[in-house]
Amino acid sequence: MFLKEKCNLCGECLMKCPYLAYSEEKAKEEFKKLIDGEPTPITAECITCAACNMFCPEGANPFDLINDRQEETGTFKVTDEWIRMMKMASKMPSKVIKGDPEKPIMNLCSVGDILPGVIVGQLFDGMSLLKGGDYFCYFGWVHAGKPSMVSENAQIFVDNLAKIGAEEIICYHDDCYAMLTNKVKEFGIDLPFRPIHILEYLRDYIKEHNDQIKKLNIKIGYQQPCASRYAFENDKILDELFELIGIERVDRKYDRVSALCCSGVMAVMLNLGKEESNKWRMNNIMDAKEAGAEAMVFLCPLCVLSLRSRAKAQGLEPYIISNLVRLALGEKLTYGGAGKIYK
């Protein structure tokens, strides 16, 4: 939610944006147009990564205003295929895979089957799993320039999860956690359960099974999902997890507050397209490589699909974070580090 009373038109949000990189004068001018409801190129050019919410020194949430204006004006143009994919997510067959009642429950949202050979091994043995359209969080609609889909379906998402009757539910996808810990507060929705971030679960599991860990001792570049900006406190948990399994997160330009989007959305924007997307993808990968990374680590399955092959081509082994933990536990990865076998 944009907090107009906190905005002092400093322009930081648009000046620090790596994609727009406006001058101070232009940033102030164009953001005032946003506030006043006047036409501005921002609504067509913003790639919806939400980084500006973190750049804002006053906590005014400028991206939320940009996203609302994108929907109001219809100027954020994406491919028909992208819209079809978003609609399909809510229509996927739903399933509750019941496990040991003493084990945790995890929501896989609509992305749980995207990467084969990931939701396996002792980390997930005996878990109850929720997947399909009933458990789709709708948060991804911000990347289609339609935030109303998020607000209109938030209560439905919460109600479907609440029907499980669990006191705690692990969120496999960062989007779901952002929805349950950030957006529902904006909408005045109470949660009858506690959402647990996958990073918190992995860290706590490692602490409880520390005697099984063999530290990996590798340097990695980390790809932060856009949704992480809504719960950035989990970055500390990630660093703690990396330390527990012997991972060095290289110090690079495009990480933490300055992280880049995986550029998947940029590829489906009609006014930008694949060439511009590929440029930023390679900027991201090469930044990690030049900082000394040996591997590229992901939290979001969709980020994996966007960047894993490019990372591999540059000699950076791609891993989704849970598979790194499985390696540290001594498990073999039957589908590689990120759900694909490279020959």
CATH number (domain holding residue 153): 3.40.50
Torsion of CA 92, 74, 46, 37, to 10 degrees: -130
Is the per-residue pLDDT at 12 higher than 80?
yes
Q: Is residue 170 part of a domain?
A: yes
- The verdict on residue 335 lying in a domain is no
Q: How does residue 133 score in pLDDT terms, banded at 50, 70 and 90?
A: very high
340 domain-assigned: no
Residue 62, in any domain of the structure:
yes
Note whether 248 and 283 are same-domain residues. Answer: yes
Structural domain boundaries enclosing 303: 202-328
68 and 88: one domain?
Answer: no
> What pLDDT does residue 285 have?
98
Q: Are 188 and 247 in a shared domain? A: no
- The residue from 15, 39, 73 where one domain ends is 73
pLDDT band at 273 (very low <50, low <70, confident <90, very high): confident
Asked if residue 124 has pLDDT above 90, the reply is: yes
Give the span between the Cα atoms of 203 and 326, in whole angstroms: 12
> Are residues 162 and 125 part of one domain?
yes
Q: What gap in Å lies between CA 154 and CA 137, rounded to an integer?
A: 7
Kindly state whether residues 209 and 189 are assigned to the same domain. no
Query: pLDDT band at 237, cuts 50/70/90?
Result: very high
Q: Do 66 and 109 reside in the same domain of the chain?
A: no
Do 211 and 298 belong to one domain? yes
Q: Are residues 94 and 65 in the same domain?
A: no
Predicted confidence at residue 343, as pLDDT, reads: 72
Mean pLDDT value across residues 83-111: 97
Residue 39 tokens, joined: 């036409």
What pLDDT, on the 0 to 100 scale, is given for residue 325?
Answer: 98
pLDDT of residue 331: 97
Instruction: Give the mean model confidence (pLDDT) for residues 175-197.
Output: 97
Read off the pLDDT of each residue in 180-195 and give the average, rounded to a whole number.
97
Identify whether residues 91 and 172 lie together within a single domain: yes
Output the 3-class SS for the chain: CCCHHHCCCCCHHHHCCCCCCCCHHHHHHHHHHHHHCCCCCHHHHCCCCCHHHHHCCCCCCHHHHHHHHHHHHCCCCECHHHHHHHHHHCCCCCEEECCCCCCCEEECCCCCCCCCCCCCCCCCCCCEEEECHHHCCCHHHHHHCCCHHHHHHHHHHHHHHHCCCCCEEEECCHHHHHHHHHHHHHCCCCCCCEEEEHHHHHHHHHHHCHHHCCCCCEEEEEECCHHHHHCCCHHHHHHHHHHHCCEEECCCCCCHHHCCCCCHHHHHECCCCHHHHHHHHHHHHHHHHHCCCCEEEECCHHHHHHHHHHHHHCCCEEEEHHHHHHHHCCCCCCCCCCCCCCC
Q: Is residue 315 part of a domain?
A: yes
Same domain, 86 and 178: yes
Is there a single domain that holds both residue 86 and residue 64? no
Residue 337, in any domain of the structure = no
Residue 118 to residue 132: CA distance in whole angstroms = 17
Residues 235 and 265 in one domain: yes
- Is 338 inside any structural domain? no
Confidence of residue 274 (pLDDT cuts 50, 70, 90): confident
% residues pLDDT > 70 (the chain): 100
The domain tally of the chain equals 3
* Cα 125 from Cα 259, distance rounded (Å): 33
Query: What's the pLDDT score for residue 219?
Result: 98
- pLDDT confidence bin for 91, thresholds 50/70/90: very high
Domain boundary among 154, 181, 196: 196
CATH code assigned at 243 = 3.40.50.1860
Per-residue pLDDT at 283: 97
Structure confidence at residue 87 (pLDDT): 97
Is residue 278 one of the residues assigned to a domain?
yes
- Mark which of 196, 231, 247 sits at the end of a domain: 196
Contact status, residue 249 vs residue 222, Cβ threshold 8 Å: yes
